[in-house]
Amino acid sequence: MLYLEKADGRSSNVTLRGVGKKGFLLRPRITIVEGRMFQPGVSEVVVSRCVARRFKNANVGDTLRFGSLRWTVVGHFDAGGTAVLARVVDQASRETLLAAIAGNGQLTLEGRTKRAYYEAQTAAADRIKFLGALVGILMAIGASFGAMNTMYAAVNHD
């Protein structure tokens, strides 16, 4: 995930996926619509047309910053509408739509609420959060022992 500035000045997370030539063979609906494909081993990136419209520095020729790294945008791609966002008027309509999608064997779609989608996107972060909390607790225990040792040494000094 990247944190990029939007065209309207606000910021948002953007999902980053690394792919190679085989990745595009597995997804034949993805096509380069502007610029060219990136060259492997070079700091180049292609972004979706949607990202290019919504975020700053995502046009062909611009430079995106990923932490301390800089990547040149060399192309835009389109995924042929592989992701669809539908807005419903109420919860009953949402449940009806999700049930219709799930019940139609001809559709190769998966219906999810926005909350479920983002929870699935951030599920990998749960392990990192747990590890961070564990390290923090261990460090707090160690710091407590260090403080107690210092206080004991100060009181016990003859």
SS3 of 9-41: the string is CCEEEECCCCCCHHHHHHCCCCEEEEECCCCCC
Query: What pLDDT score was predicted for residue 1?
Result: 66
Q: Can you give the pLDDT at residue 139?
A: 98
Q: Are 26 and 17 in contact (CB under 8 A)?
A: no
For 74-106, how does the pLDDT look when each residue is reduced to its tens digit (9 = 90+)? Answer: 999 888 766 666 778 888 888 888 888 888 777
Report the range of poorest mean pLDDT among 18-27, 42-51, 79-88, 144-153: 79-88
pTM for this model (two decimals): 0.52
Alpha carbon distances (Å) from 28 to 44, 78, 85: 21, 11, 21
What per-residue confidence (pLDDT) applies to 12? 81
